Amino acid sequence: MQGVSGASGAAPVFHRIMARLHSRSAPVWPAKPDAILTDRIDSRTGHRPAPGAPAQWLRDEFFITAPTAAMPGELTPSGLVKLEESTWGPWFRSPANERAAAFTLAEPVAASRHILSPRDGILCRLDPELPGGGRTLILKTDLLPGNARWASDTLSIHDNVAQLQPGQHRLQLTDLRTGATSEVGIRVSE
């Protein structure tokens, strides 16, 4: 098999097998399992569409867990999706952004200026399919290591990783150089 690529080795064999099978019966889509859900989403956000979302962005998708509703404040009054500057700014301004008419950059939130992740108000879902049940959340800051301390009255935090449990939680970041604090709230559900 040295010097044999997928295109020259496996692909022709796969093609012959499929052609032989389809010569005996027509191809059919498998039946959708009952556990798979179908729901309409806004393809710009991955959430259920907000009222009045433009039809051009709506599409039906398959899910194991139903998608979440549109987040409050996710859209501008004119219907543009707000993107965070720290995450999306370079892409938004680049020639690769072919959908600039659908997005805008959100104003930075001063109260959480050093918290990069999680976003304030985010919903985290525990998922038994993920390693560890999806019970960990990595906390990110733009402060240098040693200059930041995370805390929560309701969650255990060690080495910038929060151990999640269902409920409403506040996360506080302290800039150890200045003593300034920033906070975000998260929700965790099963």
What is the sign of the dihedral through the CA atoms of 64, 68, 69 and 75? Answer: negative
In whole angstroms, what is the distance from residue 18 CA to residue 69 CA? 41
pLDDT tens readout for residues 174-185: 988 888 888 999
- Reply yes or no on whether the pLDDT at 111 is more than 60: no
pLDDT class of 110 with cuts at 50, 70, 90: very low
User: Cα(60)–Cα(67) distance, rounded to whole angstroms?
Assistant: 11
Region 78-106 average pLDDT: 86
Fold annotation for 110-189? Immunoglobulin-like (2.60.40)
Q: Give per-residue pLDDT as tens, 15-32.
A: 999 999 999 888 888 898
- Going from N- to C-terminal start, the domains of the chain cover 37-105, 110-189
Other beta carbons less than 10 A from residue 102's beta carbon: 18
Backbone angles phi, psi at 82, to 5 degrees: -85, 130
The residue among 127, 134, 184 whose CA lies nearest residue 164 is 134
Arithmetic mean of pLDDT over the chain? 87
Whether the per-residue pLDDT at 122 is higher than 60: the answer is: yes
**pTM given for the model:** 0.45
pLDDT band, residue 113 (cuts 50/70/90): low
166 pLDDT more than 90: yes
